[in-house]
Structure formats: structure tokens, C-alpha cells
Structure 1
Amino acid sequence: MQLTVLARPTWEARRGAHEARVDAWIEPHLARRRLGRKHPVEDFLFTYYSYRPAQLRRWHPGAGVVLSDADTPGGAEAVMVPPRRAEAIAWVRNLLIATAARTPHLGCFGLHEWAMVYRQTQDEIRHNAWPLRLGPAGTDAVVEASRIRCSHYDAFRFYTAPARPLNLLQPTRETQAANEQPGCLHANMDLYKHAYKLAPLVPSELIADCFELARDVRTLDMQASPYDLADLGYAPVRIETPEGRARYIEAQRTFATRAAPLRARLIAECDRLLAAVAE
């Protein structure tokens, strides 16, 4: 792998900018955690995904980069690509390439969140501190009147048992690469997961870029959900109406556009890392 040398002022500036950017996301979460409070939108990326706030904050330049004049033990040494990680890197690459090759499918309308609470009481639902906008019966009616076509396994696996047969697809972990498509909110949110699983071999700025997209996607995800989050300042996207569905499709299209260059950057990083293993 060809090494890149970063002068101290350069890498210190990058590290400082990354930490300041990430602090704006993690500090409110940590404050809520200390108080025992939960936020169904802002806390999701820290509770659903395994990357801890301290890991997100820790800056690394990626594989093959030497930090000039670093004053930490071993800090100047470039991180290289362990051959044992090649299989995992290749899996991520193949999934990303397969996803990118498909035409975005728009119009799922976020019904996965509705299917996750289908035929449940208020006490049983996942975010039971927040009411359902239409109540349990109204929520069930929307599910039953809709054409549900979720392609993302990690959304589908949280469906309630009676909702599973209503999905036109039956995705599994084994068929993930055959099903994922670039219009899917969760496939685009998961770019963050794929990025941090490549740490510290990819730059922290790329991980943060993917986190920022995932954070914005989660906002739409919950605005279009059956939950009433008005008290938190989230106006609903009423996907049970034609106007709400049109608004959802437009937002979904915007996220697909934003995700495409991030997916391409991750693929390029995978190619670079696998080439280094093969050297």
C-alpha cells in the first residue's frame, strides 16, 4: 500500500474538525443518557447500531496514512490492512455494488414502521412512551389497506408475526445482496454501519458523513411512522394520505441521491483495501 504522509497542522486540523462535528451529535445523547431519558429519533443511531459515541468521536485518517510528528506512542505509524479482514471487506463491497446497480424503488411509504406495531396494543409497541397517531385500530387499517413491499431484512425482521405474510417480499440475511436497492431508507441508513465496520481502515470523516445521512433518514423514518411525535417537534408525514405519500416519495428520492456518492466512496475504499491485501 502506498503511504501518505500528513503534516501535523493538517492532521490536527482534521482531527479537531471531526471532533467538533461529532460532539454536536453525541453530547445531547450522553446528557439524556445520564438523566435516564430516551429520544426515539436522536438516540436511535446510538442504540440500534453497535458503534459507541466514543468510537464515533475518535478520529483516524484511514489505512496507509502516516501522521507526521505525532506525539502519541505509535501515533505516527500507518494503519495497514490485516489479511484476516479481507473476507468481511469483500462482503461489504459486494453488497454495496449490488445495491448501487439497481434502479431505486420509491414508494414503500415507510410502512415497515407500521408493520412493526401491527395488531399490538399501546403497551406492546416498541416506542410505547409515544402514542399512535391513528390509534391501534386506525394503524392496523392502514397496514391492511396498503401494498407493503419492504426489501430490507433488518427492517422486516422486526415485523409483528401477523404482519409478515402481508409483505410482498420475504427477505432473509442470505438474500440480502439480492434484495437491497438504493431507494430503501434503511439500506441508505446502513451505509453508516458499513462504514464503521471498516474502521479504522477508512477515514473518520467518511464515517461521519454516513452518520449524518443516517441521522436525517431516521428523522423521515419516524415522521412517516404511526407514532405521534409532535411534542418533540416532528410534524408527521401522513403517508395514509395522497399528499403525505407524495411528500414521502420526494424525500426518499432526495436521500437516494445523497446516498449514491457515499456508497461510491465506500466501494472505492473497499477496492483500495482489498488491493492492499493482494499486494
Structure 2
Amino acid sequence: MEVLEPEEWRARAAAYERRVEAWVAPHLARRSRGEAHPVEDFLFTYYGHRPGRLRRWHPGADVLLRGARDLGRDYVDTPEGATLDVAALMDRRGSSVEWIARLLAATASRPAFLGCFGLHEWAMVYRAEEVRHGAWPLRLPGEEIARIVEQRGVRCSHYDAFRFFTPEARPLNALQPTRERQPELEQPGCLHANMDLYKWAYKLSPLVCGELVADCFELARDVRAVDMRASPYDLGRLGYRPIRIETAEGRAEYAAEQRGFAERARPLRRRLLDVCERLMAGAARI
């Protein structure tokens, strides 16, 4: 059991809250005005972690906060302070921890594939009458988008991207991902697989520390920007320069971004997997 003295855990909590407030406050301000941002709001609207939950720092499993009391249902008070009730949390979430660990380990075991070039976003608007981000214009006419998708094909391994393809685009994909096949297909070069590290971090929360959740959020935020820059949408009014994956230069730029994100994601995936493995080992000893 790691012990954090009051000055240390209070400083960590305050630093964490300042860090995430820079992301949460603008989102809530836009929401109050009825505005939507296709990049900055995505992590709040697509993923299910509410801003209020993201704002709260947790120390993670097996950490005692000396002098703390009454921290909520997930914590137990001791004579020395408060700590997470890991046994109770694992009773409720043990199967989820095991599934996440299996997915993280399988993804980490594979080489990064850098040949998809972000065409999943193009497949989501392929021959569509309405598009998901209808407030923003497309960079190219619909027929040109369709020609590029048909000419290059789609090589998407991520189920949660594939499920948003238009019905006409799904047969054009080299794979037919399903939820059941997710551990079999995900690979570390995929932008969505790396963005999803935020999802696995908050789903493991409060068993992982808040700093790891924030690190995954920060990566996911950067990934989302590249994801939309490589899409067929024109976000120039928001200051996003397009990555023109319809050109050889754009494809090379996209692959370089993928490679960089895979490198940034590797230690985060490992940290999440380490937490899962320690939790499962502790549960097995009980």
C-alpha cells in the first residue's frame, strides 16, 4: 500500500483538476451556448464519461490518502486515512478488467499497420444523403469522395469506426469487424484504437490514477484532431489544416502521424495493462 501524505495528495488533486478544467470548461461553455465543435467536443459526446466525473481526481488502487475521510462509495475509511475499496470494485468490475486486459495485451502484441490512410472517415460519408457533421462542408464533391474510396479501398480494423460506415461502404472494407472480434483485430497503428485508450482508462477509473486518465485524454484529443484533418470535411474555419490523403504527400503525412501516435500510445497501453494485471493478480489471491 502506497501512502500519500496530505500535502502530496492534495497537490496532485489540485494539479489534476487544473489540467482537466482546461478541456472541460470550454466544452461546457459551448454546450451552454448550443454550439458544437467536431474535434474538441468529440471526447465528451462520443464517449460516456461525464465532465463531472472527469474533473474528479483518484489516486488509483492500493494507495492510502493519509488524513482523508468520506471520499464516497468507492472508498473506505481507515484510522490512517481513506483508500479505494478494491475488493468491492473488483467484485463489480472484475470481468470488465479481464476483457480490457485481453484487448490491451492483444493490441500491444501486433505491429502497427500504417496503410489505412484514414479512409474510415470517408467511408462514413460514402454515397450518404446526410452526414454526421452536417454543419461542416465537405472538401470534395460526393462523387469524388466515392471515386477515391472505390479506387483505394478501405482497410479499417476497428469495429467502432466500421459500425458508422454507410451500408454501401461496408462491403468495400477489407475486413468485417465485429465486437466479438475486437481483441483479434485491433492493432496499435489505428487512430481509433489509440484514442480508445481514454475509454479504457475511464472505464477502469477509479482503479487507475487520475493522471493516467488525463494522459490518455490528452492523446485522444490530439488523435481526434488528426482524424478530422484527414477526413473529407473542411474545418478550415476552425483552424485545422487538412491532411489531403487523396494525394501521395497527404498519405505520407498521415502515416507519419500514425507512427507518432503509436509511439505515444505504447507506454500508456502498457501502464493500463499493468494496472489490470495487478488487479487480477490481487483478486486471484483473495
User: Match of 2:18?
Assistant: 20
Indicate the SS of the match to 2:154: coil
**TM-score normalized by the length of structure 1:** 0.96
The runs of 5 or more residues in structure 1 that have no matched partner are none
Verify: 1:56 aligned to 2:71, yes or no.
Answer: no
User: Match of 2:82?
Assistant: 77
Does the aligned pair in 2 maintain the 1:105–1:181 contact within 8 Å?
yes
Which letter maps to 2:160?
D
Indicate the SS of the match to 1:66: strand
Identity %: 62
Does the aligned pair in 2 maintain the 1:107–1:248 contact within 8 Å?
no
> For residues 115-162 of structure 1, what are the alpha-carbon distances to aligned partners after superposition, in whole Å with 9 as ceiling and x for unaligned?
0000013xx110000010002122111111112110000000000000
Deviation at 1:72, TM superposition (A): 4.0
**Aligned counterpart for 2:31 among listed residues 30, 33, 36:** 33
**Aligned counterpart for 2:175 among listed residues 151, 169, 172:** 169
User: Match of 1:109?
Assistant: 117
Which letter maps to 1:199?
S
Does the aligned pair in 1 maintain the 2:67–2:82 contact within 8 Å?
no
User: Match of 2:236?
Assistant: 230
Does the aligned pair in 2 maintain the 1:64–1:78 contact within 8 Å?
yes
Give the Cα–Cα distance (whole angstroms) in 1 for the partners of residues 9 and 70 of structure 2.
13
Give the Cα–Cα distance (whole angstroms) in 2 for the partners of residues 77 and 39 of structure 1.
39
Does the aligned pair in 2 maintain the 1:224–1:248 contact within 8 Å?
yes
> For residues 92-117 of structure 1, what are the alpha-carbon distances to aligned partners after superposition, in whole Å with 9 as ceiling and x for unaligned?
00110000000100021110000000
User: Match of 2:187?
Assistant: 181
**Aligned counterpart for 1:262 among listed residues 262, 268, 273:** 268
Give the Cα–Cα distance (whole angstroms) in 1 for the partners of residues 264 and 141 of structure 2.
34
User: Match of 2:158?
Assistant: 152
Give the Cα–Cα distance (whole angstroms) in 1 for the partners of residues 196 and 150 of structure 2.
28
Structure 1 range deviating more: 168-177 or 72-81: 72-81
Give the Cα–Cα distance (whole angstroms) in 2 for the partners of residues 158 and 13 of structure 1.
42
Which letter maps to 1:87?
S
Does the aligned pair in 1 maintain the 2:229–2:235 contact within 8 Å?
yes
User: Match of 2:282?
Assistant: 276
User: Match of 1:246?
Assistant: 252
The runs of 5 or more residues in structure 2 that have no matched partner are none
**Aligned counterpart for 2:215 among listed residues 209, 217, 227:** 209
User: Match of 1:93?
Assistant: 101
- RMSD over aligned Cα atoms: 1.1
Which letter maps to 1:111?
L
Which letter maps to 1:119?
R
Does the aligned pair in 1 maintain the 2:111–2:187 contact within 8 Å?
yes
Aligned residues: 275
Which letter maps to 2:155?
R
Give the Cα–Cα distance (whole angstroms) in 2 for the partners of residues 96 and 249 of structure 1.
22
> For residues 13-50 of structure 1, what are the alpha-carbon distances to aligned partners after superposition, in whole Å with 9 as ceiling and x for unaligned?
10001000000001100000000000000000000000
Give the Cα–Cα distance (whole angstroms) in 2 for the partners of residues 84 and 41 of structure 1.
33
